[in-house]
Structure 1
Amino acid sequence: MNRIRAALAIAAVELRRFLRDRSNIFFVFIFPLALVMVLGLQFGGQGPAGRVAVAGEENTLRASIAAQLEGDDVAVAYTDLDGMREQVARGRTDVGLVISSDQAAAFDEGQDVQVQMIPSSQAAAQTTVQLVRSAVREATTYQGQVAALSGRGASQAQIETALARAAEEVSPPTLQVRGGEVDELAQEFAGLGQFDLGASSQLLLFVFLSSLAGSVTLIQARRRGIIARSVAAPVSIGQVLVGQGLGRLAIALFQGLYIMLATAVLFDVNWGTPALTVLVLLIFSTVSAGAAMLLGSLIDNEGAASGLGVGAGLVLAALGGGMMPLEIFPDTLRTVAHVTPHAWAYDALADIQRRDAGLVDILGPLAVLVGMALALVLVGTWALRRSLARAM
């Protein structure tokens, strides 16, 4: 029991030393949340279902089509013919729509209507074309219904009441577009909150970075004789090694749990099943702790360790899905990405957040992470033992 208390005391000291570093106030507490917010605001919003630029004078046909499009969450902009063509050419809109005065007059008279569409080369253009066709069809159908009822002698008030009642009683069919890379990506990220994806990626990025940054305190403890004085006390070298390893683990876990709790409270991030998410965090933190022990044992200069830790952490995070979703990686690069622990942790968190996965569903990624953790902790402990032997 005394041995365990000694190791835990060393770990607590390491965590306090890390948190007392004033530079960590920004990088541990503020910077991760700021990045989650920026990523969520820029890329995590649901956004419009499409963009349409409409050329033509204001009339009932334009207003009716625009109302249908906006009801389908399509962003509608009004411009002249040249402006519409420029937007299509520059990819600033998905579809250009031309509504002539002749077609508007035909619409008012209850006749067939034809509008000109100019799709852009954007990936979402074909989906937006279908939405425009549906909007035009619904607008002309409604106008035809009004003309038919009016021909039967119904008043405007009766027409509006009858069509409103029909709309309430009849459920319109739903359309799901399947197939194609864009639609597959949309389905992959369907159901994610605005900040969910950014929060999980920043969790992996900063847990690994903070743990590697914690290697600096290990170097300082060795160079300043703190570890030597610990061994001089009734503390064995094994307790020192365990305590230092637990200290690196405590730093990583503190950073991860802080990000999880803060994003859940501030941004309403859904982390899925909390117990499973914490389990992934624990194993990934152990991987990070082993890497920090190895880095702090092989390098004797704090500046060099800090620079190498930040550089290695950023590169591994970029490759492993900590900066961009793995789903948009090419197949070959996605395979290469799984040499990093970040990619396996990303897969496990994605299953928990998006697919309500259970423990059995994520056993594969967890097994790989456990293997990486064991390898890095064993090598890091061996390297730390050698460095302590030289220091004493």
Structure 2
Amino acid sequence: MRRAKRILHVAGNDLRIMVGDKAFFFWTLAFPIFFIVMFGLLYKSGENAPAVAELTVVNLDEGRWGGYFVEKIKAPNLTIKTADAEPAEYSRLLVLPADFSARIEARRDQALAFKKRSGASVKAAARVETRLYQSIARVISELVLYGEGDLTKFLDGHPEFRDIVRVESRFPEKTVTVVPSGFDHSIPGTTIQFIMMMVIIYGGVTVLEDRKKGVLARMLFSPLSTADVFQAKLLGRWSLGFLQALMLIVVGKIFFGLNLGSLPLALLVIAVFALAMAALSVFIGSLCTKEDMIIGLAVLLANMFAGLGGCWWPNEIVPPAVRRVAMISPAHWAMDALHKLRFFQGGFADILPNLGVLLALSVVLAVVAGRAFKIRD
């Protein structure tokens, strides 16, 4: 327990020093927000129709055909609300006139009033209109098949109408029908990119400085072992990455209406990714002898991995060959998992392979960093 407290104390002190840097909030918050806005507008999301479209029906019909027609409209992806008069608020409204039944039984044409609220989903309206056309066609087909009989007796009993042709449409296997876009793509993408950049820069540079100034060596005069110091440095850099992610997510929630699908699972993905970057930062800080080398390497790796990994543009739109190459980027596995959660209704089982790859990468990098970790030059 005491050993854990000492490790936590050193990690917390490292985090305090890094956060205390004058430029910290510019590079970890202000500058990433610029990227969020830029890429969020560049890949602006199109209108997303709700899963279930809504239709309000005012049935003024004095006969029975109005209710029969409403039953024909019903569909799994359509919610029908009934009202006695035109309501003050609605998304889409259908009005059946009082002589609806009389005109059908007299075999006369008629017009139905269909209204759409300004600002309502155009895609949902199109879905409702399509269903209305289908229902009208179905009723007309039934009337044609019924023949010249008395239509006033049609609803008392008639042969069941069956579709002569049934058409089912589907996309080929592995076809991408949803393209991640908007701020729900740019905020996670920017978060992943800047975790890479800031953790490697701040984490690597502070490891280098502590080694050169003898801070790491002096720690060994305390009850801390070399392994304890390494674990503390690793934890401090992980805390930095996760803290930055939390700040950007909070900003995204407040100002951009960020939706991550499942927030706990998204945070789990980010936490494992931040652990891998923390280990990488300690490794780079242990190998490099100059601050400029660390900064240059961090910028190069972060931008290369971000571009390949889908942080700037969604990898769902790139050719399959590029996606295969992107698998060398840690960012790819994080972004792919976050896209599954937000855009493809994925759950824990869907992102488990991504978590496995990121966790394995974290372990490998931690082992390599542990061997490269030096107390003195």
Structures share fold, TM-score greater than 0.5: yes
Equivalent-residue separation in structure 2 for 1:216 and 1:322 (angstroms): 25
Equivalent-residue separation in structure 2 for 1:322 and 1:347 (angstroms): 10
Shift of 1:361: 1.5
* Paired position in structure 1 for 2:315: 326
* Paired residues of 1:219 and 1:296 also in contact (CA < 8 A): yes
* Paired residues of 1:17 and 1:217 also in contact (CA < 8 A): no
Equivalent-residue separation in structure 1 for 2:317 and 2:307 (angstroms): 13
- The one-character-per-residue Cα deviations of 1:174-217 (angstroms, maximum 9, x if unpaired) are 6999769xxx65x313xx67311111211110111111012111
Give the stretch that moved more between structures: 37-46 or 251-260.
37-46
Equivalent-residue separation in structure 2 for 1:285 and 1:330 (angstroms): 28
- The one-character-per-residue Cα deviations of 1:245-279 (angstroms, maximum 9, x if unpaired) are 11111111111111112111110110111110111
* Paired position in structure 2 for 1:20: 20
- The one-character-per-residue Cα deviations of 1:128-179 (angstroms, maximum 9, x if unpaired) are xxxxxxxxxxxxxxxxxxxxxxxxxxxxxxx9xx7463669x9521699976
Amino acid at match of 1:259: L
Shift of 1:30: 0.5
Equivalent-residue separation in structure 1 for 2:250 and 2:17 (angstroms): 22
* Paired position in structure 2 for 1:234: 223
SS at match of 1:172: helix
Equivalent-residue separation in structure 1 for 2:345 and 2:265 (angstroms): 10
Distance 1:178 1:27, change over 3 A: farther
1:383 to 2:372 alignment: yes
* Paired position in structure 1 for 2:189: 201
Equivalent-residue separation in structure 1 for 2:169 and 2:246 (angstroms): 38
Equivalent-residue separation in structure 1 for 2:5 and 2:316 (angstroms): 45
- Residues 1-392 of structure 1: matches in 2 within 5 Å? 1-46=1-46, 163=111, 165=113, 172-173=129-130, 187-189=177-179, 194-214=182-202, 215-384=204-373, 387-388=374-375, 390-391=376-377
Equivalent-residue separation in structure 2 for 1:297 and 1:379 (angstroms): 11
- The one-character-per-residue Cα deviations of 1:36-81 (angstroms, maximum 9, x if unpaired) are 1122223214279xxxxxxxxxxxxxxxxxxxxxxxxxxxxxxxxx
* Paired residues of 2:39 and 2:312 also in contact (CA < 8 A): no
Amino acid at match of 1:347: D
SS at match of 1:243: helix
* Paired residues of 1:193 and 1:270 also in contact (CA < 8 A): no
* Paired position in structure 2 for 1:63: none
Equivalent-residue separation in structure 2 for 1:208 and 1:356 (angstroms): 26
* Paired residues of 1:15 and 1:247 also in contact (CA < 8 A): yes
Equivalent-residue separation in structure 1 for 2:115 and 2:215 (angstroms): 77
* Paired residues of 1:205 and 1:322 also in contact (CA < 8 A): yes
* Paired residues of 2:181 and 2:314 also in contact (CA < 8 A): no
* Paired residues of 2:196 and 2:298 also in contact (CA < 8 A): no
Question: Is the helix fraction higher in 1 or 2?
Answer: 1
TM-score (normalised: structure 1): 0.64
Shift of 1:15: 0.9
Equivalent-residue separation in structure 1 for 2:359 and 2:289 (angstroms): 28
Equivalent-residue separation in structure 2 for 1:232 and 1:366 (angstroms): 38
Equivalent-residue separation in structure 2 for 1:295 and 1:39 (angstroms): 29
Unmatched 5+ stretches in structure 1: 49-158
Amino acid at match of 2:192: L
User: What's the Cα RMSD here?
Assistant: 2.9
* Paired position in structure 1 for 2:54: none
* Paired residues of 1:272 and 1:356 also in contact (CA < 8 A): yes
Amino acid at match of 1:34: F
Amino acid at match of 1:200: P
SS at match of 2:224: coil
Equivalent-residue separation in structure 2 for 1:37 and 1:178 (angstroms): 35
Give the stretch that moved more between structures: 286-295 or 315-324.
315-324
* Paired residues of 1:273 and 1:356 also in contact (CA < 8 A): no
Aligned residues: 272
Give the stretch that moved more between structures: 193-202 or 310-319.
193-202
* Paired residues of 1:7 and 1:242 also in contact (CA < 8 A): yes
Equivalent-residue separation in structure 2 for 1:276 and 1:204 (angstroms): 15
* Paired residues of 1:44 and 1:197 also in contact (CA < 8 A): no
* Paired residues of 1:193 and 1:269 also in contact (CA < 8 A): no
Amino acid at match of 2:364: A
Give the stretch that moved more between structures: 17-26 or 201-210.
17-26
Amino acid at match of 2:22: R
* Paired residues of 1:348 and 1:362 also in contact (CA < 8 A): yes
